[in-house]
Structure 1
Amino acid sequence: MSLGLVFIIMLAGAVMAVLWPLSRRRLAGEGSDLAVYRDQLDEVERDRVRGMIGDKEAEAASVELSRRLLAAAERAKAVAPEGGKGRRRVVAIIALFVLPLVSAVAYMELGRPDLPDQPLSARLSAPADQQDIAVLIGRVEAELQKRPDDGQGWEAIAPVYLRTDRPQDAVKAYSNAIRLLGPTAGREAGLGEALTMSAEGMVTPEAKAAFQRALALDQGMPLARFYLGRAADQSGDRVGAATIYRELVTEAPPNAPWIEVARQALAETALGEEGRAPAVDPQALAAATPENRLATIRGMVEGLEARLKETPGDLGGQLRLVRAWAMLGDADRAKAAAASARAALKDDAAAVRRIDDLMLGLGLRDGPA
């Protein structure tokens, strides 16, 4: 499609936008007034039926709205005065002939279709609220190329790199911020998180060292503590990981934004491999109809509960049963299952601790036993 044809289509659209309202004789606001008054009448009636206003108030409001509705209807019947017809003809002539002619002359004088697109540097100079995140990052990066020793700039862009899935760039940014501004708990923890994300979630020795440096500067820093718990879990130290997660959950202030992540980590650690097995048979569940699926799940969970009465020492089964009832939203049965599991395994302190940790991670227990 040629550029000239595109301009013709755009011009036709602009002309129609002007001529369409002129082709209608009804006054502009009257139709909307009628709709508003009708809606208000309906709303008064609904409020009367719901008992939100009394009959007398409803009757008075209805009378006033009806009066306004009739007046608006009378105005809507009126047409524009004869002088208005003349003005519409003048505007139509301008839209059909003068507007295209003036536009063509102006474009021939001022238009430059041969100019290239606006360069990136010009877009980067636009106000910040008119740019997307990629452009803003590019703007900061351009400044950092000019001033590589700007520690504040490196610190500002480092978490942005993390949020935009650029962990290796975040590693560089945090490292430069630490080199130029000195270490803080936040910078060291950010570096550790960036190193962990670069390793696809594995807490590497370098990341672990960064988290340890962060804790040396701030012993209560939740982010560093959480990742050290993950490092312990990944190394096979489930007890150490659970201890860290448990302390995070029990010490968390009200409405801490990271509390749910810590709870989930604690629950997963408490379950272990034997507790993560499904409590239901996937094949049997796949054969169930959508209407019967929930009943099928509950039936299988109840079957697990019956089996555990015969083999109460099955810790994995006990953990799966507690989690299954919690996932079904039945907190009472989850608590009852946990109480039965504790009683059955009371001589195994480690097992009891895992049951308590699972309950804490599921949000069904306020603190450790």
Structure 2
Amino acid sequence: MTSTTGFILASALLVLVVLGILLLPLWRTPKPAKTVNRGEANLDIFRDQMRELERDHDEGILTDADLKQAKSELQRRLLDEVHPETVPQAKSGGRQTALALLIALPLAATAGYLILGNPQALDPTQTQTQTQTQIGPQQIEAMLGKLVEKLKQNPDDTKGWVMLARSYKVLGRFSESAEAYSHGGALVDADPSLLADYAEVLAQANGGSLAGQPDKLLSRALEIDPNEPQALFLAGAAASERRDFSAVARYWERLLQQLEPGSEEAQSLELAVAKAREIDAQSGGKPPGITTTGPNAIPAESISGVVTISSKIAAQAKPGDLLFVFARAEEGSRMPLAVVRAQLADLPLKFRFDDSMALPGGKKISGFKTVSVEARVAKAGKAQSSSGDLFGSIKGVKPGSKNIKLVIDQIQP
């Protein structure tokens, strides 16, 4: 048993060391290596925006009419913007390698976990038999199923929950990964790298937004370790999402110090930091939506506030229920001008809308005298209203309005 235990400990240590050393630099976007026709680049952007519109339509954010209108506007913009110029194109080999490692190592660790306590599994004859069997989707599901059953019998096994969360993450099952991380307890709360990973899967499960609970988890991670790489990278992304480019530069400069000087990863990050500083300087050190003086004054066109839920109906919702906050035109198309996705657990939720958050092919908040702001707890998991949803709304909100207090206090019939 001593040799078995030593083998397991050594294997676990090697997995952690390899992940820590390899994944961060491999995941960084490499510097531009060649040029392509700008028309092709615009087509790639066009396809991405089309997919985003289709996703919003599938989630109920856009109606059929809204989708048709948005596609038409996007096609018109594409015709206006395509020119035979060249723009940089980056290689993606590093991320492919990182993805391969991310998938292989945690799943291998999961397989190891499932056979802990079974010394016969280290028998050379059994090992040889196992290596001859190709692991496919059914085998992976079977391993995960066994792990889930073990955790049902021992729900206090925080290491098991973390392993399950990581396995779900590499399979792209982000909601299940976030749920597994929520059972990690003190193990997750005290580990900055796990907190950062938890924040990432929560954001992925909520449409990519780091606002709300993911941002809180990142703050906690950086309190424990101000130089945790993944937390610094994601904190910079969260700051960019809220248009605080001064914070973007600060977070990513700290991350830059941990990269090899002159490496492709370092050069890419240096460019990102320089761009963040440039945008911050253009805004006079203030985020968009704050009025300044002079010829380059920034119009106060953003709308911000906080969402809460009435105690009278709070019991009818669960912490994991999806929460959508919309800004819409009060007349005409019901296509949202801007959307924030979060979870009920993020309440009270601070929100902020501005023109940078306009949906592809959609109109901007600054183009309206007043808009309506609505918060909706989507019981069916889609932003489109359905019976049983909890919601609250405010009409006649002028662009530039601050400190709006939006209360979810109604139930959809």
Please classify the TM superposition score into its range, dividing by the shorter chain length: 0.3 to 0.5
Q: Which has the higher contact order (CA 8 A, sep 6+)?
A: 2
Higher Cα radius of gyration: 1
TM-score by length of 1: 0.35
